Amino acid sequence: MTKMLENQVAIVTGAGRGIGRETALVLAENGARVVVADRDEEPAAEVVATIKDLGSDAIAFCGNVTDPAYPKQLVDATISAFGRLDIIVNNAGYCIDGLLHKMTDEAFQAMLDIHLIAPFRLIREASPYMRDVAKKEIEQGIVHHRKIINVSSGSGVRGNMGQANYSSAKAGVIGLTKVVAKEWGQFNINSNAVAFGFIDTRLTRPKEEGLVVNGEAAGIPEKVRQKLISNIPQQRVGSAREAAESILFLASPLSNYINGQVLGVNGGSLT
């Protein structure tokens, strides 16, 4: 049986853990060959090994997505390994929370760098292998949809106290998503965003667990977590797998006429 993403090639950033890991796996399960982009070599290698055990193919390409040189290196490695690029999932990210009147320029800029500027650079570097290739295909009468999925957040849709930097960056990536949809839609390139609500990741685990991500304390105080959960109509946190499956939908042929949209994945919390 032919799989939905048979022979397609996907880049997933932040693919070593959490939502990125599950996204890489679910794309591979549906036939894609995956470039696992992450800062850390060990988890990236583990994801590649798991994908190969599934019978698909993958490579790891490690580095910092905020490094201006990294996006081109990542795209070049993808083309060198697989010869094509069909799907980009801009997932890499983290939080530096704090009230606005205490927030530093560095903390604000860091969120823009990883959540907005890095996706912009990667999409731009992919242009020769997505937009330009698609243009030639159309001239030959070939219709093949390519997909760009940017990970936003409910914080980018409604704002969130203590996240002026993160909310601004996640709102910005929605704007970027819509511009790409308008500019590249004519080339059968669908650009959409997912706006996640409360998903179970390192960033949303109880703060009392003492997790540290990129040198910053991660997590949410348990009392706050329980209050947030009580405001979700489904009364639970979403799993990383459920988050990844929403990305699969936008990467698949099932979304070929969905473009420039923001898919809320939040258990009804923004209803």
Active-site residues, by number, are 166
Cβ atoms of 6 and 31 closer than 8 Å: yes
What is the rounded CA–CA span in Å between residue 91 and residue 84? 20
Residue 245 and residue 220: Cα distance in Å, rounded?
24
How far is residue 264's CA from residue 199's CA, in Å, rounded to a whole number?
12
